[in-house]
A and B are shown apart, each in its own frame.
Chain A
Amino acid sequence: MYFDGDSIAAPATPAAESALAIIRVSGPLCKELSAVFSGKMSIEPRKAFYGAYRSLDGVLQDCCVFIPYPQGSSYTGESMLEICCHGNPIIVRSILDDLFRRGCRAAEPGEFTRRAFLNGRMDLTQAEAVQDLIAARSRASIDAAQRQLDGSVGRAVNSLLERLLNVIAYAEAYIDFPEEDLPPEDKDGPIAQLVSLQSDAKRLMATAPYSALLREGARTVIAGLPNAGKSSLLNALLGEERAIVSAEPGTTRDYIEERLIVGRHLLRIVDTAGLREGGGEIEDKGIEKSRQLIAHADIVILVIDGTAPPPCQELPVSLRELSARGLVIVAINKCDLPQEKPFDELLPGARLIRLSAITGEGLPELRDAVCDIIDSRYKAPGQDDVLVCARHAEALANMSDSIAQALDKMRRGEAAELAASDLRDALGSLEQIVGRVDSERVLDLVFSKFCIGK
């Protein structure tokens, strides 16, 4: 028997820059996905095909190689699809996001292997090979989880859990004890409690981007014309900062990514190929890539050669948008040389910093500006606020969805056990964070609140 439930997706290669990245999808949706990306209804199994990955809204994400596997002869034993895209974490992320919108969900640690095992697709050597891997990975994630659960995230999520359990217990009391002398059932109270649960979950979820910023680093793109001094600026930043987390050699074709710590923030700095002044070369891949990077950036440092006239080409729309949100710094380089003229009008909303990548003048101001932007624009939470990670945010979003469905039924006065079933799903989402909750907890609450018994 095969799982005929959900489809899962996850990157199969590490989240680093490389020539290629592979995303694996397993489950019933794979057939449909293969058809979408190949444009054909029937696909030859295990034969790679080349195609454009367009997201649901029609936007081209990357040109990929797809390998479909039929049920029964894949790693997991289910229908599978392997998507080989360019090894750019941003592309991988957007393809995954799109797969989630198409109905897949993020695979749990070891879930492909679990399915493979359950479907009888694994032998001893394979099992042993993945065992170490999973053990190592989950040890890390469990350590992380425990640290979170000991602290504020645990308290925040457990408080949501307690409140949800209370609503569930209240509803269950009226379902399970029709003969008891219970007070008249309050319909509005539970609805109000669920609504407030939703808004609190939303508040928690809103911290996920900042949390990702802390964990993964702020995606900082250095853009500008060729010879504006982008590379020297990057080198200057790296050279001055001793706390380099990792410096991966510029082996990638399109850009270089470096990690460094600035103040209390981790930056993932990307030096782009450059926004070339290429009249007519609209289709140029390099420009396209840079524009994509800018569109996904948390912060952009636009480097301008202060000794040259302002660039006359059209700046990418996304850059203007980021600038309007206060996320762009215009670094006017070569301030040690005679300046051309002011650049105040270049990008409304951007901060101007005059610096010299050669002498180091203005670099402290640049670093301060970067930190300031992260803290002010990405809502650095207050002392008492809680940061949730993306996995928690997903669970909280699922909980909110289930609660919305329950609310809908409660407001329309449908049979109580149907809303109860949605609330059970909501609880299941929280269980993804806090682990299994014993059904006895619900009964504990019922018996502590109501006088029940013959």
Chain B
Amino acid sequence: MTGTENNPYDVIVCGAGHAGCEAALAAARMGMRTLLISGNIDTIAKMSCNPSIGGQAKGHIVREIDALGGEMAVNTDTTAIQFRMLNESKGPAVQAPRAQCDKKAYQLRMKHTLELQPGLHLFQAIVSRLIYGTGCVRGVGTSIGAEFYAKTVIVTTGTFLRGLMHIGKNKTEGGRSGDFSAQTLSSSLKDAGIALDRLKTGTPARLLGSTIDFAVMEEQPGDAQPLLFAFYDTRGLPDDVFHVEQSPAMAAAERLLFHVEQGRGMRRPGWLPGMEQLSCWMTHTNARTREIIIENLHCSALYGGEIQGVGPRYCPSIEDKMVRFANHERHRLFLEPEGRGTDEWYVNGLSTSMPFDVQQKILHSVPGLENALMMRPAYAVEYDFAQPTQIHSWLETRQVEGLFFAGQINGTSGYEEAAGQGLVAGINAALKVRGEPHWVPARHESYIGVLIDDLVTKGTQEPYRMFTSRAEHRLLLNHNSAELRLGPHAARLGLLTPARAAAVLRKKAAVEDWSARFEQLAAPGGKLGDHIRKGGGLDAAPAEFLALSESAREEVLYRVRYRGYIDRELRHVSKLAGVERVSIPDTFDYATVPGLRNESRQKLIRHRPENLAQASRISGVSPADISLLIVALASRNT
């Protein structure tokens, strides 16, 4: 039997949320014997908050996950009920896809994908503690008394570590409405010297659609020609293992319950022309809403002093918005469908920790929601997280060898941020078991790299969410190039099927080749490249080019059109490439570096950068400090 002291798993993943699923799949796909433990396997890959995946910077991450052979993109494509490309008025680098998903379908498809994955064992139990060896982790103990041993353990607990939910003065233990919380695992982590802190997040109420008056709201439909998240179309291919049958294009009134088709060799429909998408709807709070909130501010868990955790500034509760932006007459709200087989609706923009009766008054003040029936109340949740400066960039804890963290335990927020980390943790756990060097995507090649580097070098004071402005090489990170940036890594790591790996490398070669050829081919008034940059069309482009895939063509045009900017970014990157390679040992003593300013010294000791590039990104550290470090490291290493 696997999982005993003598025959341990390679990888155990604790928690089957968005981080845990990607971690377990990546490890198993890299040939690891993997155990995925979840306290409730009916809530696998549950979208605990909004029903959407993607959006600014997050949509970029989802495409990167796909490029690395992860599951989130395909799972979104096959279960989405609406697609939208955001920021179409801006340039391609900051456009991002977003989809509304059928929440239940999303979960079911992910669960079944896990079930079909060879080498992956899914098991229901609550992890109560970690089993430690000397300086390392050896397995987990569970609430049912059983112990499971492994070479590596990935903890992806989300909001479940000592989760505490607030509705007004009312407090309930649990990581999510209707779920348990992990009460003892925190102390097990503290035993290993890992410091924990509190964060807070929240979610709005869910309403019954038939009691909402959509007629007074503004419709936000999906795109007529949506872009799918996944790069590699498996439709009709033998490695398409599963799909969720979408409701056929029918009148909304006849909306059918979705049904699940499963089995090998079935076609994955994804979105097809003519397929029905569901709309979101927009409304606003008004003066009455504001009065109710201000009158009842003392009842709010947040303003009543009940909550200690720090909440995200970009996702404030409605009471927060009313207080901080007192001069705003109204705040925008979106009603988003939670799926096809349900009439439950999510109220985007109305997160709150007010008591139930006040929540009802707030809702009924909103145009279109006067008679809305609440199905689930809004609540705030507090949970433990570990300041991510305690982990290495490959997500292994500094204190305990073999123990990895991914997702909200690292202080992040969002399904996409969690999934990206889960994937990287799964990859690195597998590499550790194989005895190979760790791998982390760099800042200039992915948002996942920016995310992880920010976390481990700077830590976070609020739930960390990705924004494109966090990426200094944003122009290199357009979503369409994710496959070319990360695909070769994924192929090398063994995360792609051989067919897909070959396709990625072919596409990369073609894009690079054509980007160069555009500067040589003749066109009206010069070279084709200049012609394109002056806003010219593709009339002069060879037929072979037009025969490339749409994604490849788009990427060639992006590189040609923005050549000057991309070259400049690449120059910035190559300037840093040298310092990127110079690692700073964990044991490096900054006290021995002569001439270092005290302020810089303290910052470096606190952040413990892994290499000189990380050190140079710490705020206030100057180029002169870096020069001193370089020489100190040189004399140490030789």
Chain A partners chain B: yes
Tell me which residues from 134 to 169 in chain A have a Cβ below 8 Å from any Cβ of chain B. Answer: 134-136, 138-139, 141-142, 145-146
Contacts A113-B630, A175-B468, A438-B619 hold; do A447 and B313 have CB atoms under 8 A apart? yes
Looking at the assembled complex, report how far the CB atom of A173 sits from the nearest CB atom of chain B, in whole angstroms: 9
B563 at the A interface (CB under 8 A): no
Structural contact, A436 and B617, CB atoms closer than 8 A: yes
Task: Give complex CA distance A435, B618 in Å.
Answer: 9
Chain A residues within 8 Å of B571, by CB: 4-6
Chain A residues within 8 Å of B575, by CB: 3, 5-6
Structural contact, B595 and A134, CB atoms closer than 8 A: yes
Task: Give complex CA distance A420, B569 in Å.
Answer: 13
Tell me which residues from 28 to 42 in chain B have a Cβ below 8 Å from any Cβ of chain A. Answer: none
A124 at the B interface (CB under 8 A): yes
A127 at the B interface (CB under 8 A): yes
B437 at the A interface (CB under 8 A): no
A115 at the B interface (CB under 8 A): yes
Structural contact, B627 and A114, CB atoms closer than 8 A: yes
Task: Give complex CA distance A138, B574 in Å.
Answer: 25
Name the CB-closest residue of A to B325: A451
B348 at the A interface (CB under 8 A): yes
B428 at the A interface (CB under 8 A): no
Task: Give complex CA distance A420, B471 in Å.
Answer: 12
Chain A residues within 8 Å of B628, by CB: 110, 134-135, 138
Structural contact, B631 and A127, CB atoms closer than 8 A: yes
A344 at the B interface (CB under 8 A): no
Chain A binder among B84-92, B223-231, B293-301 = B84-92
Chain B residues within 8 Å of A180, by CB: 332
- Neighbour of A118 across the interface among B334, B581, B632, CB < 8 A: B581
Structural contact, A113 and B631, CB atoms closer than 8 A: yes
B-facing mask of A413-428, CB < 8 A → 1, else 0? 0111110110010000
Task: Give complex CA distance A4, B4 in Å.
Answer: 53
B397 at the A interface (CB under 8 A): no
Structural contact, A118 and B619, CB atoms closer than 8 A: no
Chain B residues within 8 Å of A118, by CB: 578-579, 581-582, 630
Name the CB-closest residue of B to A117: B634
B235 at the A interface (CB under 8 A): no
Chain A residues within 8 Å of B474, by CB: 417, 420-421
Structural contact, A136 and B316, CB atoms closer than 8 A: no
Structural contact, B595 and A110, CB atoms closer than 8 A: no
Contacts A134-B627, A435-B622, A439-B472 hold; do A452 and B314 have CB atoms under 8 A apart? yes
A109, A113, A123, A181: most-surrounded residue (chain B CB, <10 A): A181
Chain A residues within 8 Å of B469, by CB: 172, 175-176, 420, 439, 442-443, 446
Chain B residues within 8 Å of A146, by CB: 597
A437 at the B interface (CB under 8 A): yes
Chain A, interface size category, equals 35 or more
B507 at the A interface (CB under 8 A): no
A109-B623, A417-B475 known, 17 other contacts, Cβ within 8 Å: A108-B624, A110-B628, A113-B627, A117-B634, A127-B634, A127-B635, A131-B632, A142-B595, A176-B94, A415-B93, A416-B90, A416-B91, A417-B93, A418-B475, A435-B621, A436-B619, A454-B349
Task: Give complex CA distance A175, B315 in Å.
Answer: 17
B-facing mask of A379-409, CB < 8 A → 1, else 0? 0000000000000000000000000000000
B55 at the A interface (CB under 8 A): yes
Question: Interface residues, chain A, CB within 8 Å of chain B?
Answer: 1, 3-6, 108-111, 113-115, 117-119, 122-124, 127-128, 130-132, 134-136, 138-139, 141-142, 145-146, 172, 175-181, 414-418, 420-421, 424, 432, 435-440, 442-443, 446-447, 451-454
Structural contact, A110 and B467, CB atoms closer than 8 A: no
B492 at the A interface (CB under 8 A): no
Task: Give complex CA distance A424, B471 in Å.
Answer: 11
Question: Interface residues, chain B, CB within 8 Å of chain A?
Answer: 50, 55-57, 86-87, 89-91, 93-94, 204, 312-316, 321, 324-325, 328, 331-332, 334, 348-349, 351, 454, 458, 467-470, 472, 474-475, 562, 565, 568-569, 571-572, 574-575, 577-579, 581-582, 594-595, 597, 616-624, 626-628, 630-635, 638
Structural contact, A4 and B574, CB atoms closer than 8 A: yes
Structural contact, A451 and B331, CB atoms closer than 8 A: yes
Task: Give complex CA distance A136, B595 in Å.
Answer: 7
Looking at the assembled complex, report how far the CB atom of B620 sits from the nearest CB atom of chain A, in whole angstroms: 5
Looking at the assembled complex, report how far the CB atom of B255 sits from the nearest CB atom of chain A, in whole angstroms: 25
Chain B residues within 8 Å of A436, by CB: 616-622
Contacts A176-B469, A181-B331, A421-B565 hold; do A453 and B627 have CB atoms under 8 A apart? no
Chain A residues within 8 Å of B633, by CB: 117
Chain B residues within 8 Å of A446, by CB: 469
- Neighbour of A435 across the interface among B475, B594, B619, CB < 8 A: B619
Chain A residues within 8 Å of B632, by CB: 131
Chain B residues within 8 Å of A130, by CB: 631
Chain A residues within 8 Å of B475, by CB: 417-418, 421
Looking at the assembled complex, report how far the CB atom of A324 sits from the nearest CB atom of chain B, in whole angstroms: 42
Task: Give complex CA distance A117, B631 in Å.
Answer: 8
- Neighbour of A175 across the interface among B90, B349, B622, CB < 8 A: B90
Name the CB-closest residue of B to A5: B575
Task: Give complex CA distance A416, B619 in Å.
Answer: 26
Task: Give complex CA distance A401, B209 in Å.
Answer: 55
Chain A residues within 8 Å of B315, by CB: 453-454
Report the tally of A-B residue pairs with Cβ distances under 8 A: 185
Structural contact, A1 and B620, CB atoms closer than 8 A: no
Smallest CB-CB A-B distances: 9 pairs: A415-B91, A110-B627, A135-B595, A118-B578, A124-B638, A438-B619, A181-B332, A127-B634, A451-B325
Looking at the assembled complex, report how far the CB atom of A440 sits from the nearest CB atom of chain B, in whole angstroms: 7
Looking at the assembled complex, report how far the CB atom of A110 sits from the nearest CB atom of chain B, in whole angstroms: 3
Chain B residues within 8 Å of A443, by CB: 313, 467, 469-470
Structural contact, A142 and B597, CB atoms closer than 8 A: yes
Structural contact, A178 and B565, CB atoms closer than 8 A: no
Looking at the assembled complex, report how far the CB atom of B575 sits from the nearest CB atom of chain A, in whole angstroms: 4
Chain A residues within 8 Å of B94, by CB: 175-176, 416-417
Contacts A418-B91, A443-B469 hold; do A432 and B574 have CB atoms under 8 A apart? no
Task: Give complex CA distance A123, B638 in Å.
Answer: 7
Structural contact, B624 and A110, CB atoms closer than 8 A: yes
Chain B residues within 8 Å of A416, by CB: 90-91, 94
Structural contact, A128 and B635, CB atoms closer than 8 A: yes
Task: Give complex CA distance A419, B472 in Å.
Answer: 13
Structural contact, A178 and B577, CB atoms closer than 8 A: no
Name the CB-closest residue of B to A4: B574
Chain A residues within 8 Å of B594, by CB: 131-132, 135
Structural contact, A110 and B631, CB atoms closer than 8 A: yes
- Neighbour of A5 across the interface among B454, B574, B623, B626, CB < 8 A: B574
Structural contact, B627 and A111, CB atoms closer than 8 A: yes
Task: Give complex CA distance A175, B467 in Å.
Answer: 9
Structural contact, A453 and B635, CB atoms closer than 8 A: no
Name the CB-closest residue of B to A136: B595
Structural contact, B624 and A138, CB atoms closer than 8 A: yes
Task: Give complex CA distance A442, B314 in Å.
Answer: 13
Looking at the assembled complex, report how far the CB atom of A443 sits from the nearest CB atom of chain B, in whole angstroms: 7
Structural contact, A453 and B595, CB atoms closer than 8 A: no
Chain B residues within 8 Å of A172, by CB: 467, 469
Chain B residues within 8 Å of A1, by CB: 577-578, 581
Name the CB-closest residue of B to A183: B328
Task: Give complex CA distance A114, B619 in Å.
Answer: 21
Structural contact, A453 and B638, CB atoms closer than 8 A: no
- Neighbour of A142 across the interface among B348, B351, B624, B638, CB < 8 A: B624
Contacts A417-B474, A452-B314 hold; do A108 and B595 have CB atoms under 8 A apart? no
Chain B residues within 8 Å of A440, by CB: 458
Task: Give complex CA distance A362, B475 in Å.
Answer: 67
Name the CB-closest residue of A to B593: A135
Contacts A417-B91, A417-B94, A432-B623 hold; do A453 and B316 have CB atoms under 8 A apart? yes
Structural contact, A3 and B313, CB atoms closer than 8 A: no
Task: Give complex CA distance A454, B325 in Å.
Answer: 14
Chain B residues within 8 Å of A122, by CB: 634, 638
- Neighbour of A439 across the interface among B470, B622, B624, CB < 8 A: B470
Chain B residues within 8 Å of A178, by CB: 56, 86-87, 89-90
